[in-house]
Amino acid sequence: MIMYGKWSMLFGNYKGKIFDYKGNELFLIKKKINIWKLKVNYFITDKWGKSLEIYGKNKKHSIYVLKIDENIFELKLHKGNKKSLFYNNTQIAAIDEAIFLGKTTIITKSLEYLSEIFLMLFCLKIGENNKGITFNFGYIGKMEPIDLNWKP
């Protein structure tokens, strides 16, 4: 195990934390839902106290953006259970979730960005209930196109 996360909800406020394998806190996350604008934002504080934000780039909620200094990470959701992660417009990871919740496969050679990859995936999981047997058929409807030829 390299990293793990925990989330909780109290009075409609979602909070999450990501830890390294030693139990040191890497990120503190607050999920904010704006029902009137149909937007979800994630406000993050890293272990050095730096403030970050993950936000939806489009109305379909199929692209999420994280800016760190001049660098941009984009998580694109595809039809089904597939996701792609881009760093400054270059794909660095492919993600696939099993139809049974609980198993996620991340394919990447960009280990230097592993904490950002995990952070973006974990944020989208905050608020999901994983109790009992659950089937995840993924995103349905029109989502982002996927590059089936991408290799790490």
What pLDDT, on a 0 to 100 scale, did the predictor assign at position 135? 44
Angle among Cα 110, 142, 93 to the nearest 5 degrees reads 5
How confident is the prediction for the chain on average, in pLDDT?
Answer: 83
Winning range, highest mean pLDDT, from 2-6, 84-88, 127-131: 84-88
Better-scored residue on pLDDT, 144 or 21: 21
CA-based R_g, the chain, Å? 15
Q: What is the mean pLDDT of residues 13-42?
A: 90
Structure tokens at 149: 């030829």
Amino acid identity of residue 152, one-letter, is: P
- Res. 147: pLDDT tops 80: no
Give the pTM. 0.81
